[in-house]
Structure 1
Amino acid sequence: MRFFCFALLLLTLSCSNQNTTRTKFIHFIPENTSVVVKTSNIESLKSAIQNNDLIEKLSNTNTYNDIKNKLDALSILDPKSELLICFSKENNDSLQYSIITKYHTSLFKTDSLTNYIEEKLTYKNKSITKSTLNNNIFYSTAIDSVFFASSSKKIIDAAFLNTEKKVELEKIYNTTDKDKSLSVLINSENEIIKSFFIEDLISLKNFSNYYAVDADISQDEMIINGITKASDSTNSLINIFKNNIPQENQIQNITPSNSDGFLSFTFNDYKTFKTNLLKFNKQDSIVPTTLFDNAIEIGVVYEGKKQAIVLNSIDVIATKDALLSELNISDTYRQIDIYSFSKANLFSNTFSPLINFNKASKYCVIDNFFVFADSLEMLQNIIASYQNKTTLSEQTHFKDIKANLSDESSLLIIVNSSILKTILDKNLKDNSNYNLKKYNASGLQFIYDINFAHINGIIKKAKTRGYQNSISEEFNIKLDANLLNQPQFVINHITKQKEIVVQDVNNKLYLISNRGKILWKKQLQGAVLGNIEQIDIYKNGRLQLAFATANKIYIIDRNGNDVAPFPKKFSNNITQPLSVFDYDKNKNYRLLVTQNKKLFMYNVSGKIVNGFTFKSANNNINTQPKHFRMNGKDYLTFKTANKLYILDRTGKTRVKPKTSNNFSNEAIHLYKNKFTTTTQNGDLVSIDSRGNTTIENLNLSNNHQLETTSKTLVTLKDNKLTIKSKTIELDFGNYSPPKIFYINDKIYVSVVDLQSQKIHLFDSQAKPIANFPVYGNSQIDMDNIDKDKNLEFVTKGESNAVILYQMN
């Protein structure tokens, strides 16, 4: 949501305004705050919100634009710790915000500030700054090294006076995850968020007191996990589940796939549940019945304006006995008898406000389910769907969201796009015409525990099903600026899966999860040279990113933090990508830096390795130095325009080629146990371990590319791609260098036509892979990046976008 793109002015702050006992950000939350948004990574949050499909669809609503317009008036904040955004309502309808974070000298980015007016104010001798930016006014100050800003002067003034700690709020605040990019706290007495529920009689206000959830936002889904708590002294609906054990929700097994959704609540002891519900409804008793004595789950199935009540029984015979007076058959459908029911308002009288349907005039029995409705057609649809196995539980979109929900819950709500929009509209100022067509299933559940309830929820856009042998787009996310280099995969040492690293033209480095979530951004001082390597600097299984820019070597941990003593700065330019060697596979890494003619070898402490004696080449080195191991010996290779060097690990000449050539800028490869590259006119040069040299005319032009594995040689000349002596004539275009991937004992060769924006993929026999070419704007990286068997590849999409594809 672009309204999280903060801008804030540079403040000249005096010393601390006041001595208080407040030590945590939570202590500064204003009174009457409705919603608190907490983030530990504002840049990651902004990117996630910017790329989320649902938020994009809501961007035309008045509520969205109201918040966006207020917060767009601020400059960019660069917080070094967590940041809180507090929303409240004043004068019944005026939305106010406050921002709380730790003050530090580089908190504000002011380079882009325009149309800015600043005025110094005081309140009881305390310094306040009134700021006007783009016609929006806000106020700011500092209290005990805490930065506090607000759209309301009244809230700023109160911040100096309000030193009372909010004990209950702090308890629930402490349940949020410190490492999540987004957590949300909601006060049930708020005037901003009205309801999560289908039934109008259930609101946040009467359901519980406080809600605290952590949220994961990716391109096509939002997942929340958290808790809600209501004190025993309050009349909150969540307490009706007290002293009951949640049971497995099963109503999805009888809900037709074409329904709008369902609500399900469970209990292991109906008598206790009934007592709690009577207390909530302030009733002494209800009409006695034995119908619910053996029920463990009650629910409502929604179909347009029609509803059906479902009772899930653990003793079908006993429940049938409770209906002995209701055996008047009114119809039969598919050998299922449909009976008349004389107590149409029984469910609403017993289970309000969870159930408010009072027209249950018919019922049928389907295995352990007793289904009550007013519409004969709805009962027939339920019977047919159950028998045909076309219920919601059989649908892929339901299975996808169920993976993020518990099997047992006290209260479960599953809705389709129509009811999802209805619920969202309850919380928006207008019912804008946004389309949620592909949001086939969303879910919210509450699991009652001792004195609180767990919350799990998911809103997910259904993906187009990937058919066998097809290519499906997994995500397409936008960065802050155009891409500078091609995306590449790196290993997540925690999950053993792959993530994506890429840099934009502003030299920001991004780490992106394989679900499309931007985990962090890091500002670098230059462009990354070549590919990023991964090393285990501490030998503990945790991997770091290692690479060079023109003037620095970086080693960065998986959280985006520099690993000391890096970055290491160089006064002279680094002219080739950083080479990382682990000679004996014992994690004693060597970092080789190229500076024109010279090579410098460093250890992971950033110290020169004195045992490396190579001083200078005869000319500028034009390829990244590589390490090969053959027959128990180490070979370090690189070349200049007219000399190829093959050294040992100390930098001494190990092999001296028995010929000289004018070399191309193509890399050196180990092909068929020979050091292989090309000349400027495209001849293949191969040198064995004794220096014997062979030259082969491949009929390549000056403009050619070479790539090999140990046994496969690939060349590209103009539009002619040759794989193992088999040549494919491609359409004329502007082609990237070929890349070879060896995955699951199979060779794949890719080239990208940057002119027509097409990715081509071939096997080792030069046969095209099915369903290629596909759209792409850069070389690809390809691997199996997750737990399934399908391969994925990543590429540049639009100028500022990263696309992940899956080969099904």
Structure 2
Amino acid sequence: MKTRIVFFILILLISFYFFNHFKFSKSSNDLWDLIPSKSSIILELEEPITQYNKMFESSIIKNSAFEIKNHFEEFNFFLNNNLESFLKDNKLIISYFKISNFRLEPMYVTYKRTLDLDFIFRKMKENGYDISERKFNNQIIYEFKKGENNYTLCSIENMIIFSNNSLLVEDAIRTKSNTNLKFRKNESDLFSQVKIIKDIGNLYINESDIFNLLNIESKNKFLNYTQSIFPEKSFFDIKFEDQLLRLNGFSSTLTKSFYKDKSRYDSIIEILPFNTISYLNINSVNEINFFQLNKKNQIESFSNNYELEIGRALIENRKSNKYEEITILKRKPSINYNITDSLLYDGIYKLDDQKINTLIDLENISYKSEKFFIKKDNFIIISDQINTLIDIRDDIEKNKFWIKKLDISKFRNEMNKTHNISFIINFSKFSKQDNSELNLVSSQMSLIDNKLYLSSNLSDKEVNNVQYSNENIVKEFSAKNNITLKPNVIFSHLDNKPEVITQDERNNIYHLSNELNLIWSDSIEKINSNIYSIDYYKNNKKQILFSSKNNIYSYDRKGNPLTGFPIKNPSESNIEHLNVIDYDRSKRYRLITAHKNGDIYFLDKSGRKLEGWAPMKMEEQLVQEPLHARVRGKDYIIILLKNGSLYLKNRRGSNYPGFPIKTNNDFSNKIKIKISNSPTSSEIHLLSDNGTISKVNFNGKVISQTDLYRPEKNSKFKMIEDATGKSNFIFSYDDNYIYSDDKKLFYDNTNNLEFQYYDLSKNIKYFVITDKKFKKTVFLDQNLNFKLNAIDSENKISIMDYDNSLNIYKSINNILSMIEIKK
């Protein structure tokens, strides 16, 4: 009996031991034990696959956080495409580490569960990876390498760590054995917040330099000051609603003590200037809190004269494209300020109060710049630039305010109505991440128990930023000087959206984004060629290439000249025409220059002269750049001289049989090429100045010649091709008239005119005439009937054709704009 009792007690003790050992093991193996305190951003997913799929339903995340998707796909590849089943009912923490100013690298931590590492190793070997192992702090680290692809894995108890960067895995191993290194221990107050159950995930931010993390260009005082106000450490729940991404949470406990406060309504946002691009509002019911939030020394009796509210904004100067700071204060209406305000002229006042000057200055420096202000109701708008205030005043008189923009109004309605701190930024104006779909980003904060309650919204770029005007101008850009080059539309390699290249009269070139924001500018020579898009480095990133009379230029999208550019003119004679040929779409480009003396050079893309074209000497100037056509794998170089000689040459510069053809007519019209299945059926169409249409096939046979009816003795003929090459339009003109069939249109002087032709969808065709003298562009059909209202423009235009609208890019004086016309 005693033996049985002893045995039973022994069984109980053993059971108790294993129960407690299991319980201890399970509780001690927490994923957070592997997360280092130096993590910059941490994403916690309790239901990884469900939350990940929800996350990427948002176009904001889908287009702006594509690296997250890439990282998931790498993890999935490593798990032999079993990520979904592996993470089902599992938990995942992704910890991002700041490797450099604008680069974050992830580390994945999850429970191992039934993961068969031996199977993974076999699959990685089958995929050509070299596998090695090493010990670090008594843990085995596995490294997988194949060319530039590196993966690192470590299994600790029932958890696994995965990263591309082995140093991050080592950090996690160190953290497991050292409590002082753990994020959760050092930031314990962030874990005391109530988590929302049905959110997308939990986000922890442990980084003061938040603008770097967002890839925002923060090299100005305003954004640096704003960043200093943000809490360094914060927790967010993530939710997605419609086109908004919402983040709600708390900061860690603030280092300074604040009095009990109350969030308030923002009254300043209603009067912000139309060209505002970023805005910070701080308000409080407590004067000490107000100055602490502003990180400024308290001004005695400030609240006697002013409300405890300040607005700081960054606005875009329309004339210089620079960003300028303004400050707005709200005065108490009971005081007569006319006695103390120093009027300079025409509603511009000088700010004499040096204490207010100290509050306004973003940097605590001894030198205080002279400041001025204008009045709007009880508000004063302060700047150190009088011209800025004059522009703002003009907008106020026209009732043009930031809040009246459609996207701003809609975004504001989604924000909290009250706060102590509110910040809104037009993300696209500052982001270095050009392919981001983010439009507006806001962050609002309210003081609660010496923490900041945080609420952030992120909106999609799909919300149109419509500006209202009589001409329905949707977008606008102001150059430094009058624009002389048409808006050349190119398409970004980032999102395939249209962007614009143009130039002003002082030869400043501008590259503008889809929103007509300046990407870069440079001072060069006058452009005399088309703007070509190339992929010089064969990496699916586009660059532009063009010429002046002395050089060939090429820039990447950031405005950096490509290596070896500009290429100097290979001839002593000016470059008159340029073409870029990609013979077999291999991106081994050939650059063709045609010169005033008739010389033609072929260069490789680095500028080296090619055999047979160094130079090819012609007896006359060319009408246009040499063209390239390919028929049945054979390359043809087509050259038309002003004396009517037509050449067809091979790559080496030798004539094809049947060429040259002498037409004995003068030519100024560009040729049209009709490519077909064979040289016999492929044609070159030519129109001489006197109206003779010739069709020549690639075998050198003149298929037909037709003389057009000349309406007047001195009239000349013009053939213009649709921008897409779809079709062409032929008309005639003399000094004062344009003729099409039996119709004519009068002009004072046709020498002032520029002609274009657009053959658009839904059988819409426009004959476009721009009068450079009177700065007007008209849209006609082929019978010279007016089809659209005339617009103000002095250069050729560009048209983008969409299903329900036309976007027309135009320029007049120093303004380039895009207008939208509904179909």
Tell me the TM-score normalised to structure 1 length. Answer: 0.47
Quick check: which one's helix share is greater? Answer: 2
Tell me the TM-score normalised to structure 2 length. Answer: 0.46
- Structure of higher CA gyration radius: 2
Larger relative contact order (Cα-Cα within 8 Å, sequence gap ≥ 6)? 1
